[in-house]
Amino acid sequence: MIFVDTCILVAYYNDRDRDHERGVELIKKAVKGEYGKIYISDYVFDELLTVVFVRTKNHKKAVRVGEIILDSGIEILRVDEKAFLDAFELFKKLKMSFTDCTILSLSKSYGIDRIMTFDKAFEHINWIKTVN
């Protein structure tokens, strides 16, 4: 099982992203099943579509990216009240974005111990392994 962070998906879908090639490599490995089941969250989905739309100014492209994700078999975990409150407790302690704290909260709840990310902040979390 692996949780995929927004930055990986942005790199994958944006051929001008400095990490595009690595993002493509990682997603291809994930799709082949190298890491087991793939997860994102509703917050990651939101961030991805927002970044695609803001950077490209192309609403149709953002919609298409959303459709691809929804049709991909990637499981989208929802931030419920417990995950939200747990994330806020993490946010108070860690110098990470709230969305990153929701990723940690959901990963812990679902027993996900790997995250695919370029975000160095996750490297300081001892119970989750970063894949980059």
Q: What is the pLDDT of residues 115-132, one digit of tens each?
A: 999 999 999 999 999 999
Q: What is the pTM of this model?
A: 0.94
Superfamily holding 2-131? 5'-nuclease (3.40.50.1010)
pLDDT grade, residue 78 (50/70/90)? very high
pLDDT in tens, 29-47: 999 999 999 999 999 999 9
- CA-to-CA distance for 3 and 104, rounded, in angstroms? 9
Strand partners, 131: 116
Where residue 66 falls among pLDDT bands split at 50, 70, 90? very high
H or E element in which residue 51 lies: helix 42-56
Can you say whether the dihedral through the CA atoms of 64, 66, 69, 72 is positive or negative?
negative
CA dist 63 to 49, 52, 68, Å? 7, 9, 9
**What are the domain boundaries of the chain?**
2-131
